[in-house]
């Protein structure tokens, strides 16, 4: 797809890389978050009482939700999330905000006023904080290589984009490139 876009003179915008990096890091951070949900038995509560689905199906829905939340993380912080030292803190703050919204606002709307309490509520907090910390810590390690790879790719392909129209006729006539 990137080759097609570049062939027509379009480079990826500054927002595409953080969104992709956020979705990837959100997906990878979903596994430890699901582990926290399982340890506190929150996954069973969500599956049985809130979503009324099987546990594997609920886990897949939660992975999709965490991936989407990672996309929102990339959208919210964009390039500011590239801080290698404090990225985990950005992530934990974002995870805390999600914890405030998801179990208190979204789940009751889905389930008809059923909310988690006790250890299950603690599991929600732990999973969102774990997810946020890992998302924030991984984001710079995923985003920077994506950024560098896309930038290098655009420089090495001389036969694509608007520069191809200027360079290609000279190559065909045997003249040197500019």
Q: Is the pLDDT of residue 18 over 90?
A: no
Query: Is 75 a member of any domain?
Result: yes
User: What tokens appear for 161 in the block?
Assistant: 């984009």
Query: Is 159 a member of any domain?
Result: no
Strands (E), the chain: none
Q: What is the mean pLDDT of the segment spanning 163-175?
A: 53
Higher-pLDDT residue of 42, 174: 42
Instruction: State pTM to two decimals.
Output: 0.71
* Total tally of structural domains belonging to the chain: 1
Element (H, E) at 37: helix 16-39
Query: Is 57 a member of any domain?
Result: yes
Query: Is 175 a member of any domain?
Result: no
Q: Sorting pLDDT into bands at 50, 70 and 90, what band is 159?
A: very low
Average pLDDT across the chain, whole number: 78
Query: Is 6 a member of any domain?
Result: no
For the chain, what is the largest distance between any 2 Cα atoms, rounded to a whole number of angstroms?
77
d(CA 43, CA 85): 32
Q: Is 155 helix (H, G, I), strand (E, B) or coil?
A: helix
- CB 129 within 8 Å of CB 92: yes
Query: Is 109 a member of any domain?
Result: yes
| The most confident of 6-20, 44-58, 153-167, by mean pLDDT | 44-58
Q: Is the pLDDT of residue 64 over 80?
A: yes
Query: Is 164 a member of any domain?
Result: no
- CB 51 within 8 Å of CB 103: no
Q: What pLDDT is recorded for position 121? A: 81
- The residue with tokens 């890389």 is 17
126-150 pLDDT, tens digit each: 999 999 999 999 988 887 777 665 5
- The residue with tokens 């570049």 is 6
CA 68, chain centre distance (Å): 6
Element (H, E) at 123: helix 119-156
Q: Which residues constitute the domain of residue 138?
A: 13-153
Query: Is 26 a member of any domain?
Result: yes
Q: Sorting pLDDT into bands at 50, 70 and 90, what band is 25?
A: very high
């Amino acid at each position: 797809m990137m080759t097609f876009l570049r062939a027509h003179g379009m480079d990826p915008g500054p927002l595409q890389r953080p969104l992709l990096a956020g979705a990837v890091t959100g997906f990878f951070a979903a596994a430890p978050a699901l582990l926290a949900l399982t340890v506190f038995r929150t996954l069973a509560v969500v599956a049985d009482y809130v979503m009324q689905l099987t546990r594997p199906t609920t886990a897949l829905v939660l992975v999709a939700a965490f991936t989407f939340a990672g996309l929102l993380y990339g959208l919210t912080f964009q390039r500011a999330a590239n801080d290698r030292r404090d990225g985990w803190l950005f992530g934990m703050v974002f995870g805390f905000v999600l914890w405030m919204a998801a179990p208190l606002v979204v789940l009751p709307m889905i389930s008809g006023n059923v909310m988690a309490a006790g250890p299950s509520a603690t599991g929600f907090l732990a999973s969102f904080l774990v997810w946020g910390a890992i998302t924030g810590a991984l984001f710079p390690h995923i985003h920077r290589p994506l950024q560098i790879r896309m930038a290098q790719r655009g420089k090495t392909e001389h036969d694509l984009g608007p520069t191809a129209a200027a360079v290609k006729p000279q190559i065909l006539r045997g003249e040197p490139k500019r």
